[in-house]
Structure 1
């Protein structure tokens, strides 16, 4: 049993599209090119890894290798399961795939799409007015193809397989037959308001030239005298998109419209993943998720709301639409979480100056005068000092001094200059002839 015969047995046993069968045969031919006449019994896991190493070193991309590996693993698995190979029960292609580099975004920004649409629309007007062939001709036909991919996200093969009778104009639906799909499932696409005029033009022209119900609907060869093929093929569509890419300087392909549509649908408030899955006709929702690009704007908004909810932001400066205020939005973290600047992280220590003794009268002369006047305050302080310097004090006198202290404090508070603090001398201080009067910190 040869590798090519194993592949043909697998294709015979499965209902594959022509495009899928072509990939299986191409993978097998790559295998034969390396192993040549090597018996199938000698193609083991190590031999496959040696082939992988050589083919990657020669410049084959990791994605292309994974295509070979995955398809040949499927063929070998089928052969082992049905006894077509009896020398081993181990699949030599198991765990031979590699991790490819992450691809760039496959979506097309709205501004580029609009520029491409405007250019095609201008070509339609140009052909109508001048009756001359434009760079993409007939422009009205290719504009309809462009809008089909934009509005429906249909696969290129499915569009090429649409028949005249697959358009149900009364119900405003498009039938996509199962034999044209990877999933082999039939499904419908709605005709949107923006797509309707272009599809109506196609149907009108098809009726004029007498297309039969089973004829290919999107067939540029039938609508222009500049083409002579029987059916429109993939090369003709890709040629049109290459011209669009050159014009707008943004890569455009039919498949990128599928990724763009899926991403745009998931940006909507509903974010209905099941609707997106049905529109793209995926059998697995994980496949649909692979079509959706990350929306970093939405991610930023969600993270911002989280920081607001948890109190990470204390103040947000809003933008005034009139333009009189700064045009940027600045957020400030709370003071306790704000990182210190390099200058404030390690401030230089200040040199402390020794306190200077100032006379009581000088201290109070610096303070603003109140309604009681500075003379009243000065007299009260002199009277208090005289009382404190008395040499002999009796118990009766102590009670009188307490009363004087209280009156003095009330006088200072009433004058609004009660920044000084008067402390009564202790018995020890009196015996030593020491008085204490200190100022409170401002």
Structure 2
């Protein structure tokens, strides 16, 4: 059997979205490019797959793209073996042929960039309303509504394109997303929030004036402007709008990045409801949802700080000041130190000498401004302070002092 024949057997037996079928087809075409269209699939073994992997990765294919090919072809071969299309005596040559791909860069859109994009689209809408002239992104009110639904709901681009007028339940403030548009093949609903409601209301009103039927595509820019000639809106038109946003703002911004941004933002909320996030994004499992969530380093820092407070780790805090100028730092812990702590750390890090330049130890008397002027120190006063410091040391070394061991001591820096 030829590779294309096996692919068609798989596609006939599975109800796949067009986008999914396209990915399977691309993987098989890449295989045919390497092994030839006339190759017998029974002759393709693991060694041949590993050689192909080396060839395409060395040729510039990303490891992530290879993993996509490997996973999809493993699924097709597994199907063929399970149903006897491929002899069951053969092993799946794609098993464990993926590679470790580098971590994707962050897909989070910064809040400031979102505000700038929203303000720009709003200004274009106001410009068109007041002048009647075509804006750079037109009709601006429609693209603002499209922008806001991606921001508020994290809906997939394909799902947005498949929303019909009848899918919007204005009374219940819900939008139906039908299962055939989803990777999970599950129907679900997304709520219309207060911020999204005015844009959806405008869209519904304009659709009514344009004579939309219940089954018509709702997000269809071609019906709202004479500058477009298509029957239905497609992904190219949406991506063209976002390309203009990127050119204007200099920030990578796509519908899918709003899904990652929404997932991360929701997990920053006090509730951090992972199940709510999973349901809103219509994921089949929580692991997929977790992969959308970027690390929140501010929250991580707060949690670690709280841990240090609870365990008393902030008894001694130091701050590095490159200028060498005296500085005083205050924090939630209001850390306090004693002379014994300070002397021990200085000895350990600086061989018993004075504190390193630029390091300020914080505590009850950490500011040099609180010390008397140097000329007021007399030998008697200095030795009295040293003796007092040794007696007040809370460490077990104090017992060594009592037994006769000598430790160097000096006044506070």
CA drift of 1:345 comes to 2.1
TM-aligned CA distance change 1:48 to 1:344, over 3 Å: closer
Change (3 A) 1:170 1:43: same
Change (3 A) 1:23 1:329: farther
2:346 maps to which of 340, 347, 354: 340
Structure 1 residues 221 and 328: CA distance shift in structure 2, 3 A: farther
CA pair 127-311 structure 1, distance change in 2 beyond 3 A: same
Q: How many residues align?
A: 342
- Say if 1:329 and 1:115 are closer, same or farther in 2 by CA, change over 3 A: farther
Aligned-pair CA distance for 1:103: 1.1
Give the superposition deviation at 1:247: 1.3
Asked if 1 retains the 8 angstrom alpha-carbon contact of 2:259 and 2:281, the reply is yes
**C-alpha contact 1:163 1:215 (8 A) present in aligned 2:** yes
State the partner residue of 1:11.
11
Matched residue, 1:302: 303
Partner secondary structure for residue 16 of structure 2:
coil
Say whether 1:170 aligns with 2:171.
yes
Report if the CA contact (8 A) 1:177-1:186 is conserved. Answer: yes
Please tell me whether the aligned partners of residues 312 and 334 of structure 1 are also in contact (alpha carbons under 8 angstroms).
Answer: no
- State the partner residue of 2:271: 270
1:327–1:145 Cα change, 3 Å? farther
TM-score scaled to structure 1, two decimals? 0.74
Asked if 1:192 corresponds to 2:193, the answer is yes
Corresponding residue SS for 1:286: helix
Query: Residue 347 of structure 2 contacts residue 353 of structure 2 at CA under 8 Å; is this kept in 1?
Result: no
Is 2:68 aligned against 1:62? no
What is residue 104 of structure 1 aligned with on the other side? 105
- Specify the alignment match of 2:32 in structure 1: 32
Q: What are the residue-to-residue correspondences of 1:248-259 with 2, within 5 Å? A: 248-259=249-260
For residue 347 of structure 1, report the CA deviation from its aligned partner: 3.4
Take 1:15 and 1:327, find their aligned partners in 2: how far apart are those partners? 67
Residue ranges of structure 1 left out of the alignment (5+ in a row):
318-325, 349-366, 368-442
CA RMSD of aligned residues (A): 2.2
Give, in whole Å, the separation in 2 of the partners of 1:117 and 1:329.
Answer: 39
Residues 218 and 343 of structure 1: CA distance in aligned 2, closer, same or farther (over 3 Å)? closer
Q: Which residue of 2 aligns with 1:121?
A: 122
| Cα offsets for 1:331-355 (capped at 9, x unmatched) | 758553874278842439xxxxxxx
Corresponding residue number in structure 2 for 1:21: 21
Distance 1:42 1:207, change over 3 A: same
d(CA) in 1 for partners of 2:199, 2:69: 40
Closer/same/farther in 2, CA of residues 117 and 341 from structure 1, 3 Å limit: farther
User: In structure 2, do the counterparts of structure 1 residues 50 and 129 end up closer, same or farther at CA, with 3 Å as the change threshold?
Assistant: same
Matches within 5 A, 1:291-440: 291-314=292-315, 329=330, 334=337, 336=341, 339-340=345-346, 344-347=350-353
**Partner Cα distance (2:350, 2:104) in 1:** 45
Deviations 1:66-99 (A, max 9, x none): 1111110000000000000117430001111111
Alignment partner, residue 162 of structure 2: 161
1:14-42 deviations in whole A, cap 9, x for unaligned? 11111111111111111101100322222
1:204-249, Cα deviation, whole Å (9 max, x unpaired): 1100111111111001111110000111111111111111111111
Q: Distance in 1 between matches of 2:12 and 2:41?
A: 20
Segment drifting more, 38-47 vs 278-287: 38-47
Q: Aligned with 1:340: secondary structure?
A: helix
SS of the residue 1:283 aligns to = coil
Contact 2:207 2:218 in 1 (8 A): yes
Q: 1:315 to 1:75 in 2, by over 3 A?
A: same
**Kept after mapping to 2: 8 A contact 1:314/1:332:** yes
Structure of larger gyration radius: 1
Map of 1:53 onto structure 2: 54
Q: Any idea what SS the aligned residue of 1:189 has?
A: strand
- Distance in 2 (CA, whole Å) between partners of 1:149 and 1:84 is 43
Residues 160 and 219 in structure 2, CA contact (< 8 A), matched pair in contact too: yes
Q: Distance in 2 between matches of 1:34 and 1:7?
A: 16
Structure 2 CA distance for partners of 1:343 and 1:90, relative to 1, 3 Å: closer
Equivalent position SS for 2:314? coil
